[in-house]
Structure 1
């Protein structure tokens, strides 16, 4: 039951994160750009999580952390900050549905990173699950209909880069700060995210900002729904479930993003895409059941 709780936390975080591309694309209609959206989202999230930290554990919880833990958690935040910025940039060039298709490559990127860096070779069930996810990706992303696909090399490269940094975030998050309370961990991660985005976009953030009432409404909504809650869920759940399983659970972002793009942006969705979404959800469910059964046998 405990393992299910942490798996559900990762899954819920993925669902919430999956809605973001559609709403970010809507915000572009008001003249906002990826740099200010991603920075304000990360900054407000860090402030909200910091407030939660002070109210629940007090400032001494951060003082107990070593310099190494502080730096590594900030670097983990840099990875998710880059992910959000690159991903938000990509949806200004390609459709939200296609952007999430490319982002989904984090599933095999994360398994590959664990294999190359930590020598943890993925098992047959994980490889089979990834295969089904890739098949579902092709179908749900409508990649077979290349004649109607809105294609941009710049958007594709940005989305692929975001999938790699997302994989780095998942692997690092599963191994860094395991003994750190989720309040401290998520606060430092979002502080590192905001700092990274600001450093690489300092000029447009300062000179081209559109800060005002409407912008703040967008920023607060994106910060709470798309960053604060998912970051807290990931900080608590990923270390307990592991990078491989978390990467598979977080694949739920894809069908959620496609459905959200259909409902919010009115992007077309075909029966083939629906079939692809079902295949992906089935693969995620089977893998989660396999992992839960394996854990019960070991215990």
Structure 2
């Protein structure tokens, strides 16, 4: 009798434990779903029959855009072809830091132009070769940049002049007539006092875009300083005032007027001591 009672108690205890374990499993709350998986949420209202309502939600990680990534010094190179007030040329650039580029430039310019001033016709020509080294600083991590640098200039600006016989011309507000025996002729030249000068430009566009793009359109504006240029005039021939004719090279009064005309031209060139720089081009990053 005692054994039968003990067996009944053990059986009832095991049955209750199994039932409690089943209830605990049905009321457990599922843990959070791993990132990138599909989660199922089960809703069990208390005190009512279980009603499972699946709710699916896609969890994904946000995309992080790639922009302004760092660059190791000299790890890349870019080339630009451009046109500027200093001629046609090209730039080559390489990064120094995230916000700095080192850039070298070469420019070539040849130009011819005929003009007349004070009745004297000039046939002028300009042969210009130059180069530059700049550091491009991008303070806002975009296309805007400030670029201090150094420009190198090698120029040959000169011209010839010929006043046709019988034509009137002016030197220092004094009128002359070119002689038919030996018409006025000569040459002139323009020289910058310095072949190396500091420069400062600002611009938009990066030859080495930090976004990883290959193409860009750089634009730049600023100035370089080479000092005040000077003009030299050399005249020959015979100039007449009425019936009085004399050689330009030997007559003191005429030579004085030639020097005064030369000084007037030099005063007009003061603005060129700060040479304007405007350029635009197309660049490619390798």
Instruction: Specify which structure has the higher proportion of strand.
Output: 2
Give the alignment's TM-score, normalised by structure 1. 0.20
Q: Which has the larger radius of gyration?
A: 2
Larger % of helix: which?
1
Normalised to the residue count of structure 2, the TM-score between the two structures is 0.21
